[in-house]
Amino acid sequence: MAKTVPDCLRCSDTRIFISVRPRERYAHARLCDCVSSPCKTCKGTGFLVEQDSFQRDVAITCPDCEQIKKRVQLYNSARIPRRYLNSRLNSQDRDSGNEMVFDLLESIFRLLPQRLSNKNNLQNDTEDLKGMVLMGPPGTGKTHLMTGFVYQCTIGHGISCIFQSFAELLSELRQGYSDGKSDMEIIEPHLQTDILIIDDMGKGRNSDWELGILDMLISERYNRNQIIMVTTNFTESEENTLKEQIRSRDKTETEQFIADTIHRRVGERIYSRLKEMCYFENLMGQDRRITEDELDEE
């Protein structure tokens, strides 16, 4: 009979425990208390001795120690907001409203190892693998699914990711100017990671500077043939895209609502690249942040 209950309930047998630290904005990974100390493989030395082709003893890094420490580091570098420390792509989170997105995320994940192993050989690249632009109203679970995807990549398979709120990136860039840093100094890690997830794309004033930063990120990853994932409240249709309320300066005029599509919001150049790089999927349904009791009261 297949094992259904993990031996360690704290880490679900991943050997890595996710928690939050006081006053820190990101979730934090560390070795779980269930991890043997010292390591059973290397007896705590961190190295194993093997023989090379000339029968000479050669010290190599312990694969068990190296792998688990690398995955801890990858998760901590991914910048998962503390609110989403429990995000996973679990079957119990799957329902009729998100099952198509679940299927596509799992399909992307299956193809990732081949893409990454061939990333320096574009002719043998995985043709069907794209990223995803996940569109839909606030509260439908877009960020939860993407942070769960990051957990699966980093902790499950050692794939590097950065989860980046677009508004937070803009704030860091402004602070960087005060510190004498260039745009590229701050953006470079976003170009080196295997997977980049931009959360809340299109949010903000949509100024020329903001669109320029977004264009730089997407164009650089496009030219390097790198995977990008996006969440956004803006869709491809005016019927279900985010409607923003615009207050008139003249109090005699009625309030207006602007319903930008993602195409209009980011412009032709960015939209065209994203259409080639990504699957576009809608995630509709009720606001999952609102409880069933609250819905019944409305």
pLDDT digits (tens, 9 = 90+) for 161-187: 999 999 999 999 999 999 999 999 999
- Residue with the larger pLDDT of the pair 161 and 290: 161
- As a whole number of angstroms, the distance between CA 38 and CA 125 comes to 41
- Residue-level pLDDT at 211: 94
- Residue with the larger pLDDT of the pair 59 and 23: 23
- As a whole number of angstroms, the distance between CA 112 and CA 104 comes to 12
Residue 117 vs residues 105, 141, 203: alpha-carbon distances, Å: 19, 31, 34
pLDDT digits (tens, 9 = 90+) for 71-101: 999 999 999 999 999 999 988 889 888 999 9
Mean pLDDT along residues 5-14: 87
pLDDT digits (tens, 9 = 90+) for 114-151: 878 776 554 445 557 899 999 999 999 999 999 999 99
Nearest-5° Cα angle at 85, 183 to 196:
35
The band of 296, judged by pLDDT with boundaries at 50, 70 and 90, is very low
User: And the tokens for 225?
Assistant: 């043939």
Please check whether the domain covering 86-297 is classified as CATH 3.40.50.2000.
no
Specify whether the backbone of 217 is left (phi greater than 0), alpha (psi in -120 to 50) or beta: alpha
- Residue-level pLDDT at 54: 84
Residue 196 has pLDDT above 50, yes or no: yes
